[in-house]
Amino acid sequence: MTSRAELAALEATIATAPSAIVAFSGGVDSSLVAAASARVLGNRALAVTAVSPALATGELDGARSVAAAVGIAHRTITTDELAREGYRRNGEDRCYHCKSELYDRLAMLGATEGYAVVFSGANVDDLGDWRPGLRAAAEHDVRHPLVEAGFRKADVRRWASTLAVPSADKPAMPGLASRLPYGTQVDPAVLAQVDRAEQALRALGYRDLRVRHLGRTARVELADADLARAGTPEARDAIVSAVERAGYEGVELDPRPLRSGSFTGRLLPLAISR
pLDDT at 265 over 80: no
pLDDT: which is higher, 82 or 262: 82
For range 16-36, the mean pLDDT? 98
Give the DSSP letter of residue 143: B
pLDDT at 7 over 60: yes
The average confidence (pLDDT) of the chain is 93
pLDDT at 185 over 90: yes
pLDDT at 133 over 60: yes
Confidence of residue 262 (pLDDT cuts 50, 70, 90): low
Lowest model confidence (mean pLDDT) among 127-131, 214-218, 265-269: 265-269
Q: What is the pLDDT of residue 2?
A: 56
Lowest model confidence (mean pLDDT) among 121-135, 153-167, 185-199, 231-245: 121-135
Confidence of residue 261 (pLDDT cuts 50, 70, 90): low
Q: What is the pLDDT of residue 273?
A: 34
Query: Tens digits of per-residue pLDDT, 192-245?
Result: 999 999 999 999 999 999 999 999 999 999 999 899 889 899 999 999 999 999
Give the DSSP letter of residue 214: E
Q: What is the pLDDT of residue 96?
A: 97
Lowest model confidence (mean pLDDT) among 2-6, 83-87, 114-118, 174-178: 2-6
Q: What is the pLDDT of residue 130?
A: 73
Share of residues in the chain with pLDDT > 70 (%): 94
For range 58-65, the mean pLDDT? 98
